[in-house]
Structure 1
Amino acid sequence: MAFSVEVGGSWSTHEDIALCQSWVNVSHDPIMGNEMKFHHMWSKIHGEFCQRSGSIRTEMTLSSRWKLLNKELGKWRNALTKAKANIRSGQNLTDEIIQAQMWFGAMGQGKKSFMHFQCWEVVKDCSRFKIIPTGPKVVMNETLLHDSPLDSPMETESPFVPCPPRPIGRKAAKAKRGGTSTNECIQLLEQIAKNNSLRMERDLKRDEMDVAREEAFVIQQRKAQEKDIDDREMKIMAMDTSHMSPETKAYWKLRRRDVMRRKLFHDDGPSNTDWLNDENH
């Protein structure tokens, strides 16, 4: 949109992404990022944010919004860390995201589902939000999944070392988990999709209302200006010049002539107005 509501306006996804991009570019500047004072940093963030989004929000509004986003993004990083440490063999990225959403909701202190995925893509490589694995080594059937070649039993001198058992496949792993977990995951995905749809619908309705209010305001202003002009012209045309001096009468005569010319041009278009120049008129 071409304008933004400063006080009480909801933040759009576009504005949140622009704020995250501006924060990353300014705070991670390799030359100035570590030496800027807090106020100067937010002044630069505000300037870049306005260029990216076209918004008119203030520095204080941006700082307050970033506190909320920072909290949600940090909470999501912690949830992803727990999900990655708890991931099982045979699970994919979708399973990891679902499990992270469950951790996110279980942490409390805010929303039950994480929605700022596009903002996360912007900040995930920053040192503040980078995921550092802290869990134990992932094993399956008592065998490390990422053994070093130096530790492999094939490198030992004994020719009778048995081969490790064959890992179970993805389908067998899912069957082992049972159907209840799958149903819960499906329900969670459906709820996430529903929440996204409701959010988009609310944003669209808000934008439509903003456009309608702006159009109504412009129409009201135009009508007020037209009424003000009409009132002034009526006073000019009704001015009693009988008691005035010749110079004052001449002035008001010119003013009436201008009013008549504007009226003729507005109502009927250009026309021959030579009769207005008649000195006896």
Structure 2
Amino acid sequence: MNNQNSPHSQVSAFDGTNIIDLNDEHDEFENSREIIGQWKWSEDKLLISAWLNVSIDPLVGTDQKADAFWDRIRQYCEESNPGLIKRGVQAIKKRWQRINEGAQRYGSCYDQAERKIGSGSNVDNIIELAHELHKARYKKKSNFDKHWSELRKQPKWRTPSSSGSAKRTKLSDSGAYSSSANNETPTNDNDVAMSPVRPQGTKTTKRKSKGKAKAEMIEELEEIKAVENRRLSLLEKFNANHEKEMDLKIIMADTSVMNEAQLKSTAVECLKKFVNDVILVFESEYLRKPNSNDVQRLLAMGEARGFPGMMGSIDCMHWQWKNCPKAWKGMFLSGHKGIPTIILEAVASSDLWIWHAFFGVAGSNNDINVLDRSPLFDEVLEGRAPEINYNVNGNNYSMGYYLTDGIYPEWATFVKTIPRPQGEKRKLFSKYQESQRKDVEPAFGVLQSRFAIVRGPARFWDKNDLAKIMRACIILHNMIVEDERDTYATPFGPLPIYDDTTNGLSQPNLGEEPFAPYERYIERNIQIRDRQKYRQLQTDLVEHIWQFHDTTQMM
């Protein structure tokens, strides 16, 4: 602290004399405090304001420890006026105790003087008499009249004469009573006449406040609601800013000074951000449902291979989940692999483009269970799929199909092989079908060869993270297929142009798109599961492939 007596503000040598303790409570140091300017009126006024504001705050003012309460008051003082000298919690706490005690004493003397002089008197006379009573009672003049003026109208603070409880204590043999909350009530008979009147009882207080209780409760609830809404708004802004800071921190991170754990954490965060952005930007183009142009191209590819109406082949792949939670291992344990896995259902065309991907079913399920949960036919059931019309062996069909293995059901949308075929036609059909339906398996192999993260065991704990990684890898796989399709040995027709106008990409418009009537939904579901249509299609394909094979051999 600067020495105020020196004109050059030099600090005198410390000799252990004339030391003043900031936390001392002795009265003889009060004048010394004012002389050296340790606790000025501006500081006391700021301390009173801090105590009131922290106490009234509905979020932090109650149900907290004393140390935290006084530390909040210290922070309030420092933030409200940074130019003042910083003080410790103990110094602030002791100074408030002196202010509270002095204001209480002066307040009791002021109330007594006001009753003694009576109504209509000059305020200056009341103040003068209050100081005289204070000096007579406590042997010194009060220095806390300003503090009492600041505190007297605050509901959080009351003088002894206005905050007494209904409990009364007998103080003398004459039968005088005083409130238990008034510690300054005189105990001799001469002072009884000058003592404050007994405060109102509990019943009277309840009776007077009964009408105001409901309004005060509503007002208090509204204040709490406003504070809570403001807190939630600030929390949302903080989370948004924090996420931006984390993204910038990841991008600008200097990996040269990181240890192994930090590098691993940064790599994981970068991977999550990368797959999220890939899905957000490219999913609508590279993992879309086939539109009208795509359907016509797929039909042409299938007809060129002997299967008119074919939309691709469907199968499932298991991805090992190394860090599967122990509580879930029984559910995700694959029967034929003996390890926890997650299933990917996919539809791929002969050019290895993956048109459909459904990921997340537990490895303990088979392909039929996955199909029951798959959204593969949602577009067809809701009447939003492109129209398909083709002819096989003289019969017209209006629903495409997928080549499958033997586990799938006999639906009109699936074409399976013939187990133990009899006759040359059926044997030729089985040979064609078994060779063409394996298009999806090379797509799985290429996907795993390109991306090691889906080739090895999955090491993430969250299944949603694994689903996003798989979708992002499929999107990148389709990008590569689009770029390299013209280099494949087998021609697949003209490449699609990914443009909304020329390619007919369907744009979602949920506000105008009507829902399919329930009757139509049931009707389409029955058509998909029509076993008779399945057998008729298989028979027609047997004849068609026999003729197709003869034509191919002649060419």
Question: Into which bin does the TM-score normalised by the smaller protein fall?
Answer: 0.3 to 0.5
Higher relative contact order (CA 8 A, sep 6+): 1
Tell which structure's C-alpha radius of gyration is larger: 2
- The structure that is helix-richer by fraction is 1
TM-score under structure 2 length normalisation = 0.22
